[in-house]
Amino acid sequence: MGAPPAITMSRGRRIDLSGPHYYQDLLTGIALEILNELSELEKLDLKTLGEDAFEQVVSITQIRLLNELYYGLGQLRTAGLELDVKRAIQDLRDIWNRYIDSTNRPEGLKFQVEEDQVQ
């Protein structure tokens, strides 16, 4: 069974999965949406935030990434397509970290996943 034509993220945005690379489209769509949300926070100028406030931004961002990934994987599972969650987390982390690097955002925004965090 193939991927559905699209999934809907928790806040209503749809990610088109009709192309031949639905898995990559899913992960990239999630990363881009969370980057868009992050850009709203960046209007506050992250450099002016204290360490605790910056850590909260990092934590919230990582929680959003994981929530959207699980939400999307759940929709794929409902459609009969089961993906390796651990690999999806690692792949999303790699995509996210490349975006952080390419947009010259603070290193602290990189997505860190420890082996014991993956369930």
Higher-confidence residue of 98 and 53: namely 98
Read off the pLDDT band of 119 (50, 70, 90).
very low
- Decide if 75 is inside a domain: yes
- In degrees and rounded to multiples of 5, residue 15 shows phi and psi of -115, 120
- Decide if 48 is inside a domain: yes
Q: What is the pLDDT of residues 64-85, one digit of tens each?
A: 999 999 999 999 999 999 999 9
- Decide if 59 is inside a domain: yes
- Decide if 1 is inside a domain: no
In total, how many domains does the chain have?
Answer: 1
Measure the CA–CA gap between 47 and 40, rounded to whole angstroms.
14
Measure the CA–CA gap between 83 and 69, rounded to whole angstroms.
11
Domain that holds residue 84: 6-117
Q: Above 80 in pLDDT, residue 116? A: no
Choice among 36-40, 43-47, 89-93, 108-112 with the minimum mean pLDDT: 43-47
Q: What is the pLDDT of residues 13-46, one digit of tens each?
A: 999 999 999 999 999 999 999 999 888 877 877 7
- In degrees and rounded to multiples of 5, residue 14 shows phi and psi of -100, 140
To the question of pTM greater than 0.85 for the whole model, the response is: yes
pLDDT of residue 49: 78
pLDDT of residue 46: 73
pLDDT of residue 50: 82
User: What is the amino acid identity at position 40?
Assistant: E
Measure the CA–CA gap between 45 and 66, rounded to whole angstroms.
24
CB 113 within 8 A of CB 90: yes
- Decide if 23 is inside a domain: yes
**Nearest by Cα to 36 from 103, 85, 83:** 103
- Decide if 70 is inside a domain: yes
